[in-house]
C-alpha cells in the first residue's frame, strides 16, 4: 500500500479507513474534516497533540464531544477510564523511543473508542502505538475498533516485556555478586535497579487497575471474541507487571541483605577495635605514668629500669588478655 508522506507540522501522524476484507485506506486531512459515518469498518485517526495543528484537527473532528476532545489533548496525569453512551476514553502508558535501554521513559497515550472510529493522541513518539501503525501501513486490517484497541494493548505488553526481562537480568547479576560477597560498589547498581523498577511500576500499576475496570465494564459493542481477547491481553499485561513487582521485591530484599552484611562487618570491626582498646589501655596508662618528667620515678637511676618497665607493661597486656579470655569476651 502506498504511504502518504505528510509534513510533521500538520499534526496528523496517520489516518486510515479500515473496512473488513479490504486493504486499509489512508485518509487526508480534508477527508477527516469532512467526516463520513460508515456502515462497515471504522476510521482511525492518530495525532500529535504537542502540535497546534494536531490539536486543532481533534477539535474539528466531526461529532466529537468537546469534553472528550479536551481530555484527549490536555487530560490529567492520572490514569483515566471514562465510558459514555457514545464511546469510552482510556489513558494508557506507552514507552517512548529512547537510545539508552536503561533509561526507559513512559508517556501518555489517550484513546477515544467508538463503534466506528478510534482517535488516539500522544505528545512523544511511542513504541506500542507505532507497532500498530506499521502493521496497518503494511496492509493489516483489524476487524473492528475493539480489535484495534486489543491489538494496541497486546503491543503495549510486548514493548514492556523486554523492560521487565532486562530488570530481571540485572537483578540476577546483582544477586550473583551479593551471594559471592563481592559487595564493593554494589550500592550503586542495586539502588539503580530498585529505582528503575519503582519508576516503571508507578506507571503501569494504575494502568493495570484501569484495564481491570475496562474488563468488568466493556463497551456494549464488544462481542464475545473481543471480551475473551481483552481478558487474555489484560492477563498478559498482568504477568509483565507481576514480573517487575517481583524484581522490585528482590531488589529490596537484596538491599536489606547488603545492609545486614555491612552492619555485620562494621560490628566485627568495632568488636576488634574494642578488644584491642581494652588490652592497650592499661599498657598505655602504665607507660604514660613512667614517662612523666617528675622526680621520684621508680627505677630512674637503675640501668635495667627500661627493661623492667617494658616487661611490666607486657605482663599487664597479657593479664588484660587473660581476663578477656576468662570472661569469654574473645
Q: pLDDT digits over 278-304, tens only?
A: 888 888 887 777 777 666 677 667 777
Q: Give the whole-angstrom CA distance, residue 8 versus residue 230.
A: 33
pLDDT band at residue 3, thresholds of 50, 70 and 90?
A: very low
pLDDT at 102 (0 to 100): 61
pLDDT at 155 (0 to 100): 93
Answer for the pair 64, 58: CB distance below 8 angstroms, yes or no.
yes
Integer CA distances (angstroms), 225 to 150, 228, 231, 239, in order: 11, 5, 10, 21
Pick the closest to residue 77 from 97, 95, 96, 92 (CA basis).
92
DSSP state letter for 236: H
The values of phi and psi at residue 325, to 5°, are -65, -45
- State how far Cα 226 lies from the chain centre: 30
Pick the closest to residue 163 from 208, 107, 207, 105 (CA basis).
105
**Cell numbers placing 117:** 472510529
* pTM given for the model: 0.77
Question: Please, what are the domains in the chain?
Answer: 1-141 (3.30.460.20), 143-275 (1.20.58.340)
DSSP state letter for 10: G
pLDDT at 39 (0 to 100): 65
Q: What is the pLDDT of residues 211-261, one digit of tens each?
A: 888 888 888 889 999 999 999 999 999 999 999 999 989 988 888 888 888
Pick the closest to residue 154 from 172, 128, 175, 176 (CA basis).
128
pLDDT at 35 (0 to 100): 65
The vertex-80 CA angle with 77 and 86, nearest 5°, equals 135
DSSP state letter for 7: -
Q: Which residues contact 211 (CB under 8 A, 6 or more apart)?
A: 153, 234, 237
Answer for the pair 312, 285: CB distance below 8 angstroms, yes or no.
no
Comparing 114 with 35, the larger pLDDT belongs to 114
Amino acid at each position: 500500500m502506498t504511504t502518504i508522506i505528510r509534513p510533521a507540522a500538520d499534526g496528523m501522524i496517520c489516518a486510515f479507513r479500515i473496512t473488513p476484507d479490504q486493504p486499509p485506506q489512508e485518509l487526508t486531512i480534508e477527508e477527516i474534516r469532512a467526516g463520513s459515518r460508515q456502515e462497515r469498518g471504522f476510521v482511525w485517526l492518530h495525532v500529535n497533540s504537542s502540535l497546534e495543528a494536531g490539536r486543532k484537527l481533534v477539535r474539528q473532528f466531526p461529532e466529537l464531544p468537546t469534553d472528550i476532545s479536551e481530555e484527549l489533548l490536555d487530560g490529567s496525569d492520572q490514569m483515566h477510564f471514562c465510558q459514555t453512551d457514545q464511546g469510552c476514553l482510556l489513558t494508557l502508558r506507552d514507552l517512548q523511543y529512547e537510545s539508552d535501554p536503561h533509561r526507559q521513559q513512559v508517556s501518555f497515550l489517550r484513546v477515544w473508542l467508538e463503534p466506528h472510529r478510534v482517535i488516539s493522541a500522544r505528545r512523544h513518539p511511542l513504541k506500542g502505538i507505532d507497532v500498530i501503525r506499521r502493521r496497518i501501513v503494511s496492509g493489516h486490517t483489524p476487524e473492528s475498533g475493539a480489535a484495534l484497541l486489543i491489538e494496541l494493548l497486546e503491543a503495549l505488553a510486548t514493548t514492556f516485556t523486554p523492560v521487565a526481562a532486562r530488570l530481571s537480568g540485572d537483578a540476577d547479576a546483582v544477586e550473583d555478586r551479593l551471594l559471592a560477597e563481592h559487595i564493593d560498589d554494589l550500592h550503586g547498581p542495586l539502588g539503580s535497579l530498585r529505582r528503575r523498577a519503582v519508576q516503571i511500576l508507578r506507571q503501569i500499576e494504575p494502568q493495570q487497575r484501569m484495564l481491570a475496570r475496562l474488563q468488568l465494564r466493556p463497551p456494549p459493542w464488544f462481542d464475545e471474541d473481543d471480551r475473551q481477547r481483552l481478558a487474555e491481553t489484560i492477563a498478559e499485561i498482568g504477568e509483565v507487571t507481576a514480573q517487575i513487582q517481583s524484581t522490585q521485591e528482590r531488589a529490596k530484599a537484596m538491599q536489606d541483605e547488603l545492609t545486614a552484611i555491612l552492619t555485620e562487618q562494621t560490628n566485627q570491626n568495632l568488636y576488634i577495635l574494642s578488644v584491642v582498646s581494652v588490652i592497650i589501655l592499661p599498657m598505655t596508662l602504665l607507660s604514660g605514668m613512667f614517662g612523666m618528667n617528675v622526680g621520684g620515678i621508680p627505677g630512674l637511676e637503675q640501668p635495667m629500669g627500661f627493661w623492667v618497665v617494658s616487661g611490666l607493661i607486657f605482663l599487664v597486656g597479657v593479664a588484660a588478655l587473660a581476663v578477656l579470655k576468662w570472661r569469654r569476651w574473645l
